[in-house]
Structure 1
């Protein structure tokens, strides 16, 4: 290490050594707290003395050698080239010292005589040539050596003897008054060696790493070292070797220095390392076994030496090195002591648990309870790894066999949030606990859901049977958690609920707190599921949005994910897929990586389903793929039908038939087909088979959907409109009678008033109706799809309507509709539909794209922006929101646009206007 910022010290030391060479005895004490370059100055002084012909004797103190009487003096004597008789005498005296009485504060007569003889030896040596006695780390010298040094320094006034001592004032010496005695001697000069200033650090960095790098590196190097030269030297070496801070470099230097010092600073720093940054002085004092006043003194000293900054480590590497230097046994002892200390003081359970996890031991009920409470708080804070570590230790350490299953149930939940497949390893043990009556009711309810997720219907049935057998019949209007579960089963796994179909439940919103067990979350899940089962999702949309808005506070609950998914399904089933997408965006907008992986995957699946309902095929494909990136197909269990159905349908509609083929070759759980996710999968597979010309196989899939849904008593807006799919398959097979019958049946369903379902049925009715009836049916279907925003179905209806108008002889109207259909299909990325439109007769293709795009040449910018959004299917209200104007302004712009273009309504707008998407500024 260089001597940056030590120039005044060097000049003074040089002057003193010169004076001494002329026969004037001198002593210098290089003092300061911590390792800040005292040894380097000592070495430099030795070099100066050697150039002037000094005899140099050197010794180094060490804490373990304090027990050796006259150990420092022995090092000096052994380094001297003493003549025969003098050498033998010194050796004899040193041997006698090891056999004599221990020297303490006041030496006896025999000890003083021995010191005098040793000092005369050095003085006789100085008579031959100037003599330098250099003692590094003099604070670690034994008491006898310190007495002897004082004895010598008192006698060097007129002799060429130069004594240089390096003393760390943060460390106590074996002789309490040693430093005071030195100050009283007239020949002693004290030089303070302080940490380097920022300028000094920059000078040293420039010397070691180059002047061009110093300006950029010096500020960080000063922050990480406080100017402490030991840390700075190690940091420079680390940077040279690896470009960063290393525990074995910087950290080892920090820990090594403390190991060589006093017991109190070492104990305090170890307590700092074990307790972490949230500790208080009282906690540090108790763990270190010292007083709070002593803690304050130690921290002030270490701050002043640059080793610490405001009582804390300057870099994590230092704390890591201190902990590693402890050894496993001592480290575990301190962590366990810290856990007890914090528990007794009423400290945060998260800190108590962190220390217990470090030791991997939980001695007693207090420790197990602390771990469980810490796990719950970690789950609420989305710290799942911490929760899992706490619950694993709590389960392993718990001695109460009645309590262990409850801990295991929470561990299952915590692991399921990140990996449903990995969490399945706990299901058998929990099933056994449920069978023996050792699992509480809320945990058994959640276990049913987990077993069904993994397709273990038989085990779920046994747990359900026991729950039903021990349940009390509810009073009229009374809510029970089993009733909530039955509602959930009726929607998701209806075969298990068929013999226990519950009565309709109230739709009032319960209080949504932040539960950790079933309760409010299971109840709202049951309410939402019941509305879906009975085909009335529109009645609970407010409750669904309340559930979604409360999700950040409730997602630690075991029913949180199901409540969220059911709420999103309600919004989509109520023909509000745009709201579904908005809520999904909101849920992942902040701290998306903090969300559990399973929750993120379910959100992606719900987004894919909603995007399909809006005809946003590219978005649906992206989200469905993301769902499988977050959770592999096998981890989805029976719910795999949800993202897989969306992926298949979006891939088929965008023309990615390689993706379709790849996904159809993947095996799916048999149990999936007995859940609602199975009909979603079969419906999507049916459309894929239609798209690839396998109409018989497609019809089989659609009819299988119908058989299941009729058997379950589920045939509402939250599930696929299988009749329209089957009608399309029958039509492809040439059986218009069957197609017409299914279309009529769909229109006669209770949910026929829902815009999306009715639009699908009307399109199929038009396909099997005479040409004269087709425009009316298709125009109504188009209005419905515009209302619910499905661009893909709008494109299909526009294509059918253009052909119907062409067959009816209205070529101008047909060409205009054809261009709109083609444009809408392009917006949706519906490649197969685009190809189908390209194969239309030339007479139907109409005007060139260039002429079409110029159809709005006479419009103002504001009218063109409004018309462009209207062509793309936005409602007046949506256009107003997008352009920051009122709906009335939109209506006025559209009225003027119709007049200028010579048309009467929105459907007649030229499709080419849709390329002008608007700037987003006010119209």
Structure 2
């Protein structure tokens, strides 16, 4: 691949790995390389060498280095990496690069873009997906190499975006190289560690140089040095290349004084060598260097001169000298930087806290006067002392709004905390507190509720009250919340009836988490019992009523009616879009209330909206809920497809745990217990000890089911008890998840039949109260097992009839299997074969291999000869491949399919290649013919 830079020695292993990664990209496959090591070990040289080799291969290459002070600018590193490429594109190319889902990344490069587009439910989630598509667009025809240096200085949103990209890198034809230090103070350790743990990531940790390598560097530098001097350089530098070069600089500057003893006398070279270079600077040059440290990315000559109080000509002269002595560098855009972070660190150590704060204040005022973007001004305000400046408060608030719109609520919160210290006027304080509380809430900060309570005390607005409800819901409800919030709704009922109605809906939703508030909540919602969904507020109230109805477990029919009214033939979706949590809540309520056909129709509409708007959240939410809907219909093959669609599309903190749980349940029914266990095994984002969230109920249940089916009885008991405790904490009474029935099985196997019967009876009581035909059939089938013959046969026959009226085809098959077994044992082989044959047909149709295997074995015992299930044609394709088939048949391009399914074009291309080979075809037209469709 070519000779390395003369400064690179003893890095053959690292360069070979980089060459392999570049070859992969040239061949169309992506790669992730993480360079880890202490400062000065040579990461930057390797990163630059990677970029040079990529350019020699004619691979488009973009490189950026994080700078000090950029952690408070959301997506600062990503903007530095990709921004110049977009800036250099003409209008047509820019429109092409930011087309489709990539448009969601536009706010990173154009702060005003967020205000011109619909705000997604999760801005950062949308931006991450948009960035992945932007990178895919950049790499589509030519491949792409992205090099990020000094990532330990990067802002958290940039690192999360890189992590999102890294997890999809193989399908993108992109090399992402990230160079970083480990355990650097102030860095985002967890995010950097996540990058290193991405599957197939190549992690390179360059080692200290050997004495021979140091000797080679000495020789290349043309420095006359004997073996003793070389050894002294090696020992004093610790084999760190940067310090080797600094010592060589000292030797070259004073060769007569460069004895081995003198070099060893440097002591800790890390502290002395560069520091001595700084102390040797002229006063003007030293001042310039200190200001450049503080200014960071905003260091340009004119600004530095203004802050220093020196004529520009004098600053330029000093700058030339510092560049000539390899102390500073000047980029093409005029930005001043240091030749190495360790040089910067040495200068930084010479700056006292008072000087630092004063310089930041000067820079903030200067940037404000220049009308720089508020985020850049705010970065310096954060490091300066409060000074009662109204413009500073306005700037910090505006920067916080921009940070929130760009998916960085934790940065927004820090900015608003600083605004409170400025401080704001008494009139503005309540608004700032409310904004801070909302930012803390979105960032997952436990202080959000306390902050919003203070805001509500100062300004009793609907907005502050609704935000407080959300904060309390995130941290668990309490009886006190009703007493605190209800008066606000009552106070605004005349001047803002819609707002009061929305707050009542929020209060009701919060009351779902606190059983003690149930009666009061019910009374408050009584005024809305007759609403029909004529307005947006009415529809959201209906969502709250539907939620309250299913959680309370009182009436399945009423829940379905409320959910239908809330959805309003698509009115809720049209108003709220697929990004709305409320839309998902309403469809979820319809699913648990057995309105599965209608739910599927609404989910189709959500997916269509998500595709049209590029909403990854909407698509993922719909796929997750669809997985549950299909489980409740008994369609475990369809549930697997939907759950995998959700997981393939994105990794979402709320949706992904449920999707994993639903996938595990489906896999268990499909008799793939190893895969089921792996799906819900502890991992980042899915810990062994689950957080107190509703999705954790699904995960605990799935873990319990898989443990029970794999004979890990103690684990099953613990997980199912955990699921039950979590349901109780959320006051859920609808028996949607049958954890009691599974736990009864655990207890029965442990010999505690009394406890098992008690759990079954408890579930039966809840089922009768709820009124779901399917749920009743399921528990009555279990109850029949406690009854002696011949009564058991009659009860199972009744269960079969009830199950036929239900929505879960698999529950019918289970009842038929149990009934068939009883008939066989009673000697009625013909009746047994009839029941077992029907059960086998259902199980095969639903993809329920576990139940199908049981039905087949019992049918053989009853004298039947069941045909073996065979897969052929399109049915032989994997679930992921089957999702692509109808879109190909409709004439969609690879890019259109990728956007519709939130995949990458490369993934679609790979799937199509495998599909053609499996089916023995060679074109889209042939594939369309297999499914009876003519492409457009």
Is the Cα–Cα contact under 8 Å of residues 282 and 292 in structure 1 kept in the other structure? yes
Is the Cα–Cα contact under 8 Å of residues 491 and 532 in structure 1 kept in the other structure? no
Q: 1:544 to 1:433 in 2, by over 3 A?
A: same
Is the Cα–Cα contact under 8 Å of residues 765 and 777 in structure 1 kept in the other structure? yes
| 3-state SS of 2:350 partner | helix
1:456 aligns with 2:474: no
Matches of 1:652 and 1:546, distance apart in 2: 39
Matches of 1:696 and 1:539, distance apart in 2: 44
Q: Residue 590 of structure 2 corresponds to which residue in structure 1?
A: 531
| 3-state SS of 1:312 partner | strand
Q: Residue 257 of structure 1 corresponds to which residue in structure 2?
A: 277
Moved more, 675-684 or 255-264: 675-684
Post-superposition Cα deviations, 1:562-597, rounded to whole Å, max 9, x if no partner, equal 888656545655643123332233244xxx6xx65x
Is the Cα–Cα contact under 8 Å of residues 360 and 381 in structure 2 kept in the other structure? yes
Shift of 1:554: 7.3
Post-superposition Cα deviations, 1:373-395, rounded to whole Å, max 9, x if no partner, equal 54555556565654553454456
Query: 5 Å matches for 1:554-569?
Result: 566=625, 569=628
Shift of 1:302: 1.6
Is the Cα–Cα contact under 8 Å of residues 391 and 410 in structure 1 kept in the other structure? no
| 3-state SS of 1:346 partner | coil
Query: 5 Å matches for 1:285-324?
Result: 285-310=305-330, 311-324=336-349
Q: Residue 540 of structure 1 corresponds to which residue in structure 2?
A: 602
Q: 1:523 to 1:478 in 2, by over 3 A?
A: farther
Is the Cα–Cα contact under 8 Å of residues 285 and 292 in structure 1 kept in the other structure? yes
1:623 aligns with 2:620: no
Q: Residue 277 of structure 1 corresponds to which residue in structure 2?
A: 297
Shift of 1:305: 0.8
Matches of 1:707 and 1:281, distance apart in 2: 78
Q: 1:750 to 1:779 in 2, by over 3 A?
A: closer
Matches of 2:252 and 2:744, distance apart in 1: 70
Matches of 1:731 and 1:664, distance apart in 2: 21
Shift of 1:789: 2.4
Shift of 1:921: 5.2
Find 2:713's aligned residue among 652, 657, 664: 657
Shift of 1:349: 3.6
Q: Residue 409 of structure 1 corresponds to which residue in structure 2?
A: 437
Matches of 2:421 and 2:442, distance apart in 1: 16
Find 2:766's aligned residue among 708, 722, 725: 708
Matches of 1:284 and 1:247, distance apart in 2: 34
Larger Rg: 1
Shift of 1:668: 2.6
Q: 1:411 to 1:504 in 2, by over 3 A?
A: closer
Q: Residue 534 of structure 2 corresponds to which residue in structure 1?
A: 478
Q: 1:612 to 1:477 in 2, by over 3 A?
A: same
Is the Cα–Cα contact under 8 Å of residues 763 and 777 in structure 1 kept in the other structure? yes
Post-superposition Cα deviations, 1:93-124, rounded to whole Å, max 9, x if no partner, equal xxxxxxxxxxxxxxxxxxxxxxxxxxxxxxxx
Q: Residue 636 of structure 1 corresponds to which residue in structure 2?
A: 692
Shift of 1:333: 1.9
Query: 5 Å matches for 1:42-57?
Result: none
Q: 1:703 to 1:739 in 2, by over 3 A?
A: farther
Q: Residue 734 of structure 1 corresponds to which residue in structure 2?
A: 788
Shift of 1:649: 0.8
Find 1:339's aligned residue among 364, 368, 393: 364
Q: Residue 760 of structure 1 corresponds to which residue in structure 2?
A: 814
Is the Cα–Cα contact under 8 Å of residues 388 and 414 in structure 1 kept in the other structure? no
Q: Residue 879 of structure 1 corresponds to which residue in structure 2?
A: 876
Shift of 1:336: 2.9
Matches of 2:421 and 2:646, distance apart in 1: 38
Post-superposition Cα deviations, 1:691-722, rounded to whole Å, max 9, x if no partner, equal 54545534433443444355456x388xxx46
Post-superposition Cα deviations, 1:42-85, rounded to whole Å, max 9, x if no partner, equal xxxxxxxxxxxxxxxxxxxxxxxxxxxxxxxxxxxxxxxxxxxx
| 3-state SS of 1:723 partner | helix
Is the Cα–Cα contact under 8 Å of residues 544 and 567 in structure 1 kept in the other structure? no
Q: Residue 725 of structure 2 corresponds to which residue in structure 1?
A: 668
Q: Residue 837 of structure 2 corresponds to which residue in structure 1?
A: 779
Q: 1:584 to 1:765 in 2, by over 3 A?
A: same
Post-superposition Cα deviations, 1:221-280, rounded to whole Å, max 9, x if no partner, equal 4997697448999xxx9xx9xxxxx99844664455334433432233223222223644
Shift of 1:481: 4.5
Matches of 1:727 and 1:703, distance apart in 2: 12
Q: Residue 646 of structure 1 corresponds to which residue in structure 2?
A: 702
Query: 5 Å matches for 1:492-531?
Result: 494-495=550-551, 502=562, 503-508=565-570, 521-531=580-590
Is the Cα–Cα contact under 8 Å of residues 670 and 850 in structure 2 kept in the other structure? yes
| 3-state SS of 2:297 partner | coil
1:351 aligns with 2:376: yes
Q: 1:497 to 1:685 in 2, by over 3 A?
A: closer
Query: 5 Å matches for 1:84-483?
Result: 200-201=220-221, 203=223, 208-209=229-230, 221=242, 228-229=249-250, 249-250=269-270, 253-277=273-297, 279-310=299-330, 311-359=336-384, 363-364=388-389, 366-375=391-400, 378=403, 386-394=411-419, 399=424, 400-416=428-444, 423-427=445-449, 430=452, 438=459, 440-441=461-462, 444-445=465-466, 447-448=468-469, 451-452=472-473, 454-456=475-477, 458-459=479-480, 461-462=482-483, 465=486, 469=490, 470=493, 471=500, 477-481=533-537, 483=539
Post-superposition Cα deviations, 1:614-668, rounded to whole Å, max 9, x if no partner, equal 4433333233332797456463245542211111111001111231244456593
Matches of 2:392 and 2:790, distance apart in 1: 73
Q: Residue 584 of structure 1 corresponds to which residue in structure 2?
A: 646
Structure 1 portions without partners, runs of 5+: 1-195, 241-245, 417-422, 821-869, 889-916
Q: 1:550 to 1:887 in 2, by over 3 A?
A: closer
Post-superposition Cα deviations, 1:179-199, rounded to whole Å, max 9, x if no partner, equal xxxxxxxxxxxxxxxxx9996
Matches of 1:743 and 1:323, distance apart in 2: 82
Q: 1:461 to 1:307 in 2, by over 3 A?
A: same
Matches of 1:626 and 1:343, distance apart in 2: 48
Matches of 2:683 and 2:485, distance apart in 1: 30
Structure 2 portions without partners, runs of 5+: 1-215, 331-335, 494-499, 502-527, 886-913, 921-936
**Aligned residues between the structures:** 607
Shift of 1:210: 5.7
Shift of 1:690: 4.8
Is the Cα–Cα contact under 8 Å of residues 780 and 799 in structure 2 kept in the other structure? no
Find 1:802's aligned residue among 860, 863, 873: 860
TM-score calculated relative to the size of structure 2: 0.54
